[in-house]
Amino acid sequence: MSQNPLIAPLNLFDQALPFDKIQAEHFIPAVEYWIIEAKKNIQHIIDNPAAPTFENVIFALEKSSERLDQASTTFGNLEVAHGDEKIHELSKKIYPLLASFSSDITLNAALFQKIKHVHDHRKDLQLDSESMRLLEKTYLSFARNGALLSPDKKDSLRKIDQELSTLGPQFSENVLKDTNAFELILTSADLTGLPESATEAAKDLAESKGHSGRYLFNLQMPSYLPLITYSSRRDIREHVFRAYNSRATTGAHANQELIKKILQLKSQRSQLLGFKNHADFVLQERMAQTAEQVTGFLKRLQNVSKSAAQKDLQEIVDFAKNTDGIADFRPWDFAYYSEKLKEKKYAFNEEDLRPYFRLENVVNGVFEHARRLYGIVFKENTQLPVYHPDVKCYEIYREDNQTYLGLFYTDFFPRQTKKGGAWMTLFRSQGYFEGTIHRPHVSIVCNFTKPTSTKPSLLTYDEVRTLFHEFGHALHGILSDCKYQSLGGTNVYWDFVELPSQIMENWVNEKESLDLYAHHYETNELIPKDLVGKLVYSQKYLAGWASLRQIQLGTLDMLWHMTDPNLISNVEQFEDQAVSDFRLLPKVEGTNVSCSFSHIFAGGYSAGYYSYKWAEVLDADAFEYFKEKGIFNHEVAARFRDNILSRGGSEHPMELYKKFRGREPDADALLRRDGLI
């Protein structure tokens, strides 16, 4: 056991993980070992003859499984960022082990009685606000997860949680495998319309797989998006559109039956716990609070967005007809002709931006934003081990007094062992760990355009926004200043967690911001003012369409989790009916969103996808404050840091927001920003 790097003491700088020593075979022994240790700690809490107190029950419970939490988090992070077949196979054992342990704790009657005793006497304890928050959160977590159930219902809940623990990872694995299964090999004659950046990357990929003289495209975003956006070959656009939008729909990796099973189990679980449905269960711990509030919020935005989206679409349909005689406009035409129309309207092509967005410069740019706004600096550490050669590690310090703030990992390029998309995660949260308050180890994982044989990684505008978005999440973790890990950083309500990320995207449209990093990769010249002007001017282009798309996804998510699953016999039919009021283009048979909607079926966003739009209201209102005072204003940045980024979940998010802004958010700020009112 002492040779297992996930069990042995962590001796690297700030107890960094020894990624160079961690192998797949270490995970199950480590998880099993730390489960035993955690159970000993729990039993000690139960057996303690002293009267229950915050210290000997709530705080002791908070600390009871910290090395288990780190081992399991490490496994979960590697499974999605660098998961080979061995790791995916291990997940089928590790996640049930963790689910069983979680049930053992939350369904332990003796432990809950001690928690309840402390909770019942909380007014007499003179706790500070953060400790009181931890006490309330602990009690509610146990109550919401079965502590108040009868023994037979506890057994039923345990079985449900065991089964659910494997279904989400299986869903994600199916999407990844179906994504990886698609390859499109083209010749030079097939490349009309495609930018050089896309063809060069496809040529390098083809060479790497033995297809010399050909061009290989796949369904990873850096490959799929150029095809669907720029290829003048309508047959190719249709081919890749159908492939991308039918992932995990049929065949060996189909998710349709898995979706129905997940919904059945979540419904059974919520009803066991006394809720009408899974949405009601989830929303009890959200700013929105009720399904009615969420659906009302989405409906209000839908009413404003749909008419704007219809105008957006009609303009593009007319343009396609007048330009190329397209009389049967289909979904695979939208990205292509919307980009062509954008070029005509604004004399602007987003590919014009790419030479100014060299990845290394953009990374330095987000670091400079962190320095100017929050006074922190990043120093690369090439000595600490990483889990893949693409990964880089940085130490973080306060600029003024060199106080150490944590570690930051970056992992930017797609590979077959990494799921699609982009996310922020932690290998260790900020707060108490092994006897003292420790700083966090934060990571962002993306799937950006890779360097080619002749060019560095040159990002698209959307990739730059994604980097700023995920870096905003990272700042939420890095600047956390809480006592308890379970309250620190991003451990907040899901409809609040996107505020720190989405507000960072606003800086990408500001010339003052772009001048910090948008330099031509060959000449080093600043991005021209007129190009920035075209970018800013074009930002409201298709705002209605984009808004309606997000509202559609949020509504679909809510309907999946509000509907009795016994009434759902066919996934495609249910989705078609759920989105019928949003559909502005003909349905393409065999395609659907749900079978690859990992956010809600394999992530944490079930009955929570609305939170992106909810947080957009917050970030639009918050950035108006920055715009009023200056986008790098120290006073506003300090208020955002001290009341939002550093406080984690130590207070209710609306109270934190009001401390920052001085009032509740203005719901119309988002509609103003998008030009919809």
Residues 517 and 626 in one domain: yes
Q: Which helix (H) or strand (E) holds 392?
A: strand 392-398
Residues 520 and 386 in one domain: yes
Mean pLDDT of all residues in 58-63: 98
Residues 370 and 424 in one domain: yes
How far apart, in whole angstroms, are the C-alpha atoms of residue 118 and residue 29? Answer: 35
- Phi, psi (deg, nearest 5) at residue 417: -95, 5
Last residue of a domain, one of 217, 244, 271: 244
How far apart, in whole angstroms, are the C-alpha atoms of residue 3 and residue 241? Answer: 49
Query: What are the tens digits of pLDDT across the range 306-338?
Result: 999 999 999 999 999 999 999 999 999 999 999
Buried b (16+ CB within 10 A) or exposed e, 409-428: bbbbbbeebbbbebbbbbbb
Query: How many CB atoms are located within 10 Å of the residue 676 CB?
Result: 17
In a domain, 449, yes or no: yes
Q: Tell me what pLDDT residue 231 has.
A: 98
How far apart, in whole angstroms, are the C-alpha atoms of residue 165 and residue 167? Answer: 6
What is the secondary structure of 589-613 as a DSSP string? Answer: TT--SGGG-HHHHTSS-TTTTTHHH
Q: Tell me what pLDDT residue 676 has.
A: 85
Domain harbouring 142, CATH code: 1.20.1050.40
Q: How far is CA 218 from CA 185, 200, 243, 244, 386, in A?
A: 9, 14, 10, 9, 27
Domain harbouring 276, CATH code: 1.10.1370.10
What is the secondary structure of 77-115 as a DSSP string? Answer: HHHHHS--HHHHHHHHHHHHHHHHHHHHHHT-HHHHHHH
Residues 307 and 438 in one domain: no
- How far separated are the first and last CA of the chain, in Å rounded? 63
Mean pLDDT of all residues in 205-228: 96
Residues 80 and 226 in one domain: no
Residues 390 and 438 in one domain: yes
* Catalytic residue of the set 470, 498, 505, 616: 470
Query: How many CB atoms are located within 10 Å of the residue 539 CB?
Result: 13
Q: How far is CA 14 from CA 235, 395, 406, 437, 574, in A?
A: 54, 10, 8, 12, 50
What is the secondary structure of 224-273 as a DSSP string? Answer: HHHHHHH---HHHHHHHHHHHTTTTTSSTT--HHHHHHHHHHHHHHHHHT
Residues 595 and 641 in one domain: no
Q: Is 360 a residue of the active site? A: no
Answer for the pair 495, 287: CB distance below 8 angstroms, yes or no.
yes
In a domain, 177, yes or no: no
How far apart, in whole angstroms, are the C-alpha atoms of residue 74 and residue 387? Answer: 10
Q: Tell me what pLDDT residue 610 has.
A: 97
CA angle 422, 424, 429 (to 5 degrees): 165
Query: What are the tens digits of pLDDT across the range 412-442?
Result: 999 999 999 999 999 999 999 999 999 999 9
In a domain, 249, yes or no: no
Give the CA dihedral 491, 496, 500, 503, nearest 10 degrees.
Answer: 170
Mean pLDDT of all residues in 492-505: 96
In a domain, 94, yes or no: yes
Q: Tell me what pLDDT residue 1 has.
A: 61
Q: Tell me what pLDDT residue 143 has.
A: 96
- Phi, psi (deg, nearest 5) at residue 649: -105, 30
Q: Tell me what pLDDT residue 675 has.
A: 87
DSSP annotation of 434 reads: T
In a domain, 602, yes or no: yes
Residue 608: pLDDT above 70?
yes
Residues 624 and 585 in one domain: no
Query: Three-class SS of residue 34?
Result: helix
Residues 346 and 265 in one domain: yes
Residue 667: pLDDT above 90?
no
Query: What are the tens digits of pLDDT across the range 647-658?
Result: 999 999 999 999
What amino acid occupies position 272? L
More confident residue, 56 or 453: 56
Residues 471 and 494 in one domain: yes
Residue 410: pLDDT above 70?
yes
Mean pLDDT of all residues in 543-554: 97
In a domain, 160, yes or no: no
What is the share, in percent, of the chain residues with pLDDT greater than 70?
100
Q: Tell me what pLDDT residue 430 has.
A: 98
Last residue of a domain, one of 609, 641, 657: 609
Residues 504 and 632 in one domain: yes
Query: What are the tens digits of pLDDT across the range 262-292?
Result: 999 999 999 999 999 999 999 999 999 999 9
Last residue of a domain, one of 127, 148, 169: 148
Mean pLDDT of all residues in 99-111: 97
Residues 309 and 223 in one domain: no
Give the pLDDT band (50/70/90) at residue 181: very high
In a domain, 322, yes or no: yes
Predicted structure pTM score: 0.94
Q: Tell me what pLDDT residue 677 has.
A: 82
**Number of domains the chain contains:** 4
Mean pLDDT of all residues in 234-254: 97
Question: Domain limits at 239?
Answer: 182-244
Mean pLDDT of all residues in 116-126: 97
What is the secondary structure of 488-504 as a DSSP string? Answer: STT-S-HHHHTHHHHHH
Domain harbouring 404, CATH code: 1.10.1370.40
In a domain, 22, yes or no: yes
Q: Which residues contact 662 (CB under 8 A, 6 or more apart)?
A: none
Query: What are the tens digits of pLDDT across the range 472-491?
Result: 999 999 999 999 999 999 99
